[in-house]
Amino acid sequence: MKLSNKLAAEFIGTFWLVLGGCGSAVLAAAFPDVGIGLLGVSLAFGLTVLTMAYAIGHISGCHLNPAVSVGLMLGGRFPASELGPYIAAQVAGAIAGAGILYIIASGTPAFDVAAGFASNGYGEHSPGGYSLTAALVIELVMTFMFLMIILGATDGRAPAGFAPLAIGLGLTLIHLISIPVTNTSVNPARSTGPALFVGGWALSQLWLFWIAPIVGAALAGLTYKKVSAES
């Protein structure tokens, strides 16, 4: 498969993740009377990954996430030469997804981007008021476990055809755990898209949502490679 095809798939997939996941939070989470709440937003993020895994997994591997690409590279599943282009495509897709969401959300006078626009944060910008340390730990650990799920589910020795289900449900569970702490990132691209539209505090706190997921993913890549070795 040509690299350009893979990058186009990653752009589209990450676009869908941000539009579907963040869109559920911005447009539907607290909608009067029929708001989907934390459970619905968690499921929406899981569904975006599950649907894209089936749609583009055979084209690009369906990373949709710079941390996933780093973890797969260190786990020996992804060439280092494609890491930079993959990350660029993912971030571009996330920005495009956030841009379309901004246009849609702006269609009502009640919309206020300063309310957060599904951005990730800590301290006063954490949904539950959690500290920087709590945010750092949960993002690192949740991303570590996400990569362990991905690496295990896509292992050649795992049952064939079920990886998208395990990965999508894994991401749903991660959101159920961590939305109250950081609004859940585990994905630097997902964090970057909305933060660019919010500006201010969202951009000043964005560093954590790059560093913690990438460190967690890197540790998982190295760990799975070691624990899964047959000799």
On whether the pTM is more than 0.85, the answer is: yes
Question: For the chain, what are the domain ranges?
Answer: 3-227
Query: 231 pLDDT band (50/70/90 cuts)?
Result: low
3-227 maps to CATH 3.40.50.10740: no
Query: 6 pLDDT band (50/70/90 cuts)?
Result: very high
The per-residue pLDDT for range 182-209, each reduced to its tens digit, is 999 999 999 999 999 999 999 999 999 9
The per-residue pLDDT for range 67-81, each reduced to its tens digit, is 999 999 999 999 999
For the ranges 34-38, 142-146, 164-168, 211-215, the lowest mean pLDDT is seen at 34-38
The per-residue pLDDT for range 92-145, each reduced to its tens digit, is 999 999 999 999 999 999 899 988 899 999 999 999 999 999 999 999 999 999
Nearest to 149 by CA among 224, 212, 77: 224
